[in-house]
Amino acid sequence: MALLIKKFGGTSVGSIEKIKNIAKHICESKENGNDLVIVVSAMGDSTDELNTLAESITKTPSKRELDMLLSTGEQVTMSLLSMAISEYGVPAISMTGSQVGIVTESIHGKARILDIKTERVKDFIEQGYVVVIAGFQGSSLSHNGSMEITTLGRGGSDTSAVALASALGGDTCEIYTDVPGVLTTDPRIVKDAKLLTQISCEEMLELASVGASVLHPRAVEIA
C-alpha cells in the first residue's frame, strides 16, 4: 500500500465533468489499495475572476482581504471533488489549509510554509478517507495571536502538494496539469516543444525561477 499525493491544477478541475472524471480516477486508485491525499487548485479561471471582482471595488485592496477572497476558489473545488468521490462510494473529506495545519509566515499574498501539523490528516487516512485539501493556502498567527488565512502566491498549490508529500512521508507526489510534463519551452507558443523525460532539481529550479509556469519555484525547493 502506497501513500500518494495527487495535485490537480485549475485546468484539470475546470468543469463538473472533469471533477467527476478525476473522482473516478481517485476511486480506482483507492480500490487498488493506495492511501490518497488530493490537493486542488481553484476551478479554471476562478482566481482571475476573484481578482477582477476585487479590482471592481478598489485598485488597492487590503492584502488580508484579498487572501480571504482568493482562498475561497480552492474551497469550492475541494468540496465538489469530495462530494464526487463520495458519490462513487469512497469516503472523502475536504479540508482547508488552516484545518490541515499548514503554518505559514505572516505575509499575505506570498507566504512561505513553515510547518505542517500532520496529525489530523494522518488520522483521516487511517480511518480510510481520501483527504481532499485546498492548495495555495495556509494560516499564520497575527501580532495579537489570532489566526489569519494566508496564500502562497500564484501556482502555490504545487507548493502545498510537495510540502504535504514531504511532511506525510508520501511515496509519490503527482502533479496533474494540461501538459504531458516538463517541456523545453511553452507548447502554447512553440508547437514543436520537446518533452523532457527527466530533469535535475537544479535545472527545474532554474526553469521555474525564470518564469516557466509548469511548476512553482518553491515546490522545487521543497522537493
* Percent of the chain at pLDDT exceeding 70: 100
Q: What is the pLDDT of residues 138-150, one digit of tens each?
A: 999 876 778 999 9
- The sheet carrying 147-151 orders its strands as 113-116, 102-104, 137-141, 147-151
Which of these, 26, 47, 36, lies nearest to 1 by C-alpha position? 36
User: What is the pLDDT, as a whole number, of residue 146?
Assistant: 85
CA distance 21 to 37: 17
- Reading the block at residue 104, the C-alpha cell is 505559514
Q: Are the C-beta atoms of residues 133 and 164 closer than 8 Å to each other?
A: yes
CA distance 172 to 174: 6
pLDDT for 181 beyond 90: no
CA angle 32, 38, 43 (to 5 degrees): 125
CA distance 121 to 188: 37
Q: What is the pLDDT of residues 14-34, one digit of tens each?
A: 999 999 999 999 999 999 999
CA distance 45 to 86: 26
